[in-house]
Chain A
């Protein structure tokens, strides 16, 4: 059996990936090394997604395999997990909207891409998002929404950030099934990501520019 965990994960070979992790742990391998390999596998998954070779099911399935790997490795970890070096990103589904599938995929992809993600959940009141920005010092916010009611919630959230005096330091992206460039303009956001990988690319661009 191939011992390449990155490749097994990238190719979505669940049983093989789990077997490799078990073998490595039994052989006393460094747990951080295993997590690094898994991280490389996830990078490949992300690359294949952005090239149009992988689709949402592949992202979700790779996430599930990664979760199992983490569960196996976690008890062996002595220190903390890998440091989050990508920067801080706040993600929330806006007030009135309770959809989370798209948001959760974005949170997951940001997390595996090394960002410190503050996932505020769904139907998040405007003021809570403003408070979170102050609390964390995050300079990137992602607002999610599936329904058309989210247009106004996004607009109002961004207006509140503006009023709080934080807008100039921030970059704000929006996302969801009914988001178009027209809606970016309407809400006052900086950009929208049409999928999770575009969201990661925006966060990377904005945070590395700092």
Chain B
């Protein structure tokens, strides 16, 4: 009998997830060529991650709603009509043949967020034009004096404070008592603990949760169908799951940029303690999805540690230790963390060199890639930096020239994946095609 997950070593867990990625259970390939293409693409990416020399540089454009725009739809169309989502995102992959796709999860279910009266983002038709992508509405969803509540019981804080504040339909949840009160019948513990569930605002919130759940099921059906169809045609998904750096979870989601900046000066110990508390939760978030999806790569978009956002000391004190703990925690569970450093990371390269060898993909946006290769080349696979500005306003020849230069700077000996520096939205399709085709042309290892 195969070993239980809990009994496996990190290497065995990694091998298990890798095997599932290479040979996805339940996928029936369209034909032998599709199967060969699929396995070849996954192997190409794995070789790059393992710092071996693949047959050529893998190419994975990080797409947002590009598939929708390419097929003549708006982000609104595909967020509200899952058939259009499936059709358009499939068309992009089949027409352009990248080495991996980024799933359709980049297009969240619009109706679900309508049901919840979601306040953390504006989305197409709901605060931004139907033609544009969703955008975060940063705020102080956790107050400066609520660190103790978060640290004592993160789940209770999310349930009774964060969710009611960011989802209008869940306002009633603030009346809940801790679920940990439901210890036993004796003393009326259970009886008292269930009182909130009889209150109309809580009932309304439960109804909204249930309705949102129905919508989530429809959407995840499309996500699964898309992943299956693409695999059958020969195209693997790149992401097993996703999570966030603890500093960004607090800075982006809970306290906001200004909030977390002031906390670094006014209550540094509480901020550090809170990040320590949520790190294992962030690990679990990434691992759970990677296991469900049978793919070890866990995406971690990085925001507030970029050049300029923190000084070197602040980065080393507030940002890196919990991010490093997150990377280590994911690796211990067999995952391949994929931190994606938005903005510039030039001043961080020497610090992040302390990443476990051959176990991480570092993705970069505007970072100097020759420097990144020099500093990190013998430690981890790097990716990215195909300029989103060039993809947006350049010509296919400009894109080709950039691809050529990136391959020259980064691809030597393997360990590089061609990716866009930022998410690709409504850019000329010819430029995306040029990025993929030029990588296939210039990226072959001899």
Contacts and interface: CB of A to CB of B under 8 A. Distances in A.
A137 B205 CA distance: 52
A182 B390 contact: yes
Contacts of A96: 128-129, 131-132
B263 to A, nearest CB: 10
Interface stretch (B47-55, B108-116, B419-427): B419-427
Contact of B128 (A12, A57, A98): A98
Interface stretch (A22-30, A113-121, A145-153): A145-153
B394 interface: yes
A69 B262 CA distance: 16
Interface in B250-289: 257-258, 261-262, 264-266
Contacts of A56: 261, 308-310
B392 A151 contact: yes
A54 B255 CA distance: 22
A178 B393 CA distance: 12
Interface stretch (A58-66, A73-81, A159-167): A58-66
Contact of A195 (B132, B265, B308): B308
B138 interface: yes
A97 interface: yes
A180 interface: yes
A183 B343 contact: no
B120 interface: no
Interface string B136-180: 011000000000000000000000000000000000000000000
Given A12-B265, A183-B389, A97 B257 contact: no
Contact of A149 (B127, B393, B426): B426
Contact of A57 (B264, B387, B392): B264
B138 A101 contact: yes
Given A56-B309, A57-B310, A64 B390 contact: no
Given A178-B422, A180-B387, A64 B133 contact: no
Q: Which of A96, A178, A180, A195 has the most CB of B within 10 A?
A: A178
B309 A186 contact: no
A148 B421 CA distance: 12
B93 interface: no
A111 interface: no
A183 B398 CA distance: 14
Contacts of A123: 128
Contact of A55 (B131, B135, B314, B342): B314
A40 interface: no
Interface in A88-125: 96-99, 101, 123
Contacts of A14: 265-266
Interface string B359-399: 00000000000000000000000000001111011100000
Given A148-B427, A186-B393, A57 B261 contact: yes
Number of contact residues on A: which range applies?
A: 20 to 34
Contacts of B387: 180, 182
Interface in B92-139: 122, 127-129, 131-133, 135, 137-138
B262 A148 contact: no
B393 A151 contact: yes
A55 B311 contact: yes
Contacts of A183: 389, 392-393
A57 B309 contact: yes
Interface in A155-206: 177-180, 182-183, 186, 195
Nearest to A122: B135
Nearest to B121: A98
Contacts of B426: 148-149
Contacts of B138: 101
A149 B133 CA distance: 9
A60 B309 CA distance: 10
Given A56-B261, A57-B310, A60-B261, A98 B135 contact: yes
A117 B393 CA distance: 31
A55 B309 contact: yes
B122 A98 contact: yes
A56 B347 CA distance: 14
A200 to B, nearest CB: 15
Contacts of A186: 393
A58 B313 CA distance: 13
Contacts of A178: 388-389, 422
Nearest to A146: B135
Contacts of B129: 96
A56 B265 CA distance: 13
Contacts of A12: 265
Given A56-B261, A61-B262, A97-B135, A148 B314 contact: no
Nearest to A53: B311
Nearest first, the 5 closest Cβ-Cβ pairs linking A and B are A186-B393, A57-B261, A55-B311, A180-B389, A60-B261
13 contacts: A54-B311, A55-B311, A56-B308, A60-B257, A60-B262, A61-B262, A64-B258, A98-B127, A98-B135, A123-B128, A149-B426, A183-B389, A183-B393
Given A96-B129, A101-B138, 12 more contacts: A57-B309, A57-B314, A60-B261, A61-B265, A97-B135, A98-B122, A98-B135, A147-B132, A147-B133, A147-B135, A147-B425, A151-B393
